[in-house]
Structure 1
Amino acid sequence: METLLNDFSPGLFIIQTVLLLALIALMVKFAWKPIMDSLNERETGIADALAAAENAKKEMQNVTADSERLLQEARSEREAMIKEAREIKEKMLNDAKDQAKVEGDKMIKQAQDAIESEKKAAVAEIKNQVATLSLDIAEKVIKEQLANKDKQLKLVEDMLGDIKLN
């Protein structure tokens, strides 16, 4: 340090100080403003980027909320469609059951009518057969009774006796 003090020159010190102050003045005049403008531009760019990021975040939240709302609407619409499809299915099943019941009742009624018709036809046929058999039996009995003259007279007398009693 002593050598530094021994080599000190006040004139050189003043010139260096004046040059330093001139350099600072030139820097302030020509370089300070562009540097500050550049820093301000950068600060503004960073602030804009942060604002844009914040806007993008808000927009992303809005989009997320919208997509969730749309998803919820789609779910509720799907549930409504499923419910409607179930109701339609139940209605179709009930309609089919009702129609099957009506058709079954109609078939049963037709079968009962057919049975009644067959029953009446069978009864008529039996009556015809009974009448025919009765006539055949009566014819045979009468032939047998009328074959003998004494029996014929007795039959006529019995009939006449029955008539008188009435």
Structure 2
Amino acid sequence: MPAFLNPELGLIFWQLVIFLLVLFLLGKFAWRPILLSLKEREDTIDNALRMADQAKIEMQQLKAGNEKLLADARHERDRMMQEATVMANQHRDAEKARATDEANRIITQAREAIQQEKNAALAEVKNTAAKLSVDIAERILRRELAEPAAQTQLVDSYLKDVKLN
């Protein structure tokens, strides 16, 4: 049988002493720093997770704030659009009323001008008719009064029409 299958008592003793010595040295110099660094790493990870949770909460708050700002901006935009529409309608109505007033004024002026032109034309027609009447009467009287007998007859007829008081 091989020797490693049946170890002697001295070998077992020294292996046990060396094992305990290595175990003591590892415990004093290796495991404590390893455990401390693992604990430190665990604390760092816990701290990072807490910070991540806090950052997540802050991001949610920022997102809510941004959404509120966006909603406020949309509301303000809608209000401004409504105001602009009202102002545009008022401006359009005012311009329409001004244009209507201007058109009515122009129409009134045109009617007055037409009436003046009509009156002037009627006056001219009356003057022309009067002139023509006088010319025609003058021609008729010249022809009829060219003879002396006709002149005396005309004078006599006028004298008969005139009544003396």
Q: Same fold (TM over 0.5)?
A: yes
Q: What residue is the counterpart of 1:97 in the other structure?
A: 96
Write out aligned runs for 1:4-153 (5 A): 7=6, 16-17=15-16, 19-153=18-152
Task: Return the alpha-carbon distance in structure 2 between the equivalents of residues 40 and 7 of structure 1.
Answer: 43
TM-score (norm. length: structure 1): 0.77
Of 67-76 and 15-24, more deviation after overlay is shown by 15-24
Identity of aligned residues (%): 43
Give how far 1:9 is off.
Answer: 5.4
- The one-letter amino acid of 2:121's match is A
- Counterpart of 1:132 in 2: which secondary structure? helix
TM-score (norm. length: structure 2): 0.77
- Counterpart of 1:147 in 2: which secondary structure? coil
Which structure has the higher relative contact order (CA within 8 Å, separation 6+)?
A: 1
Give how far 1:107 is off.
Answer: 1.8
Q: What residue is the counterpart of 2:158 in the other structure?
A: 159
- The one-letter amino acid of 1:146's match is L
Task: Return the alpha-carbon distance in structure 2 between the equivalents of residues 15 and 81 of structure 1.
Answer: 93
Q: Deviations over 1:67-97 (max 9, x none)?
A: 3223223322332333233233323322332
- The one-letter amino acid of 1:38's match is S
Give how far 1:112 is off.
Answer: 1.2
Task: Return the alpha-carbon distance in structure 2 between the equivalents of residues 68 and 146 of structure 1.
Answer: 114
Give how far 1:129 is off.
Answer: 0.8
- The one-letter amino acid of 1:45's match is T
- Counterpart of 1:164 in 2: which secondary structure? coil
Give how far 1:42 is off.
Answer: 1.3
Q: Deviations over 1:87-141 (max 9, x none)?
A: 3332332233223222212221221122112111111111111111111122123
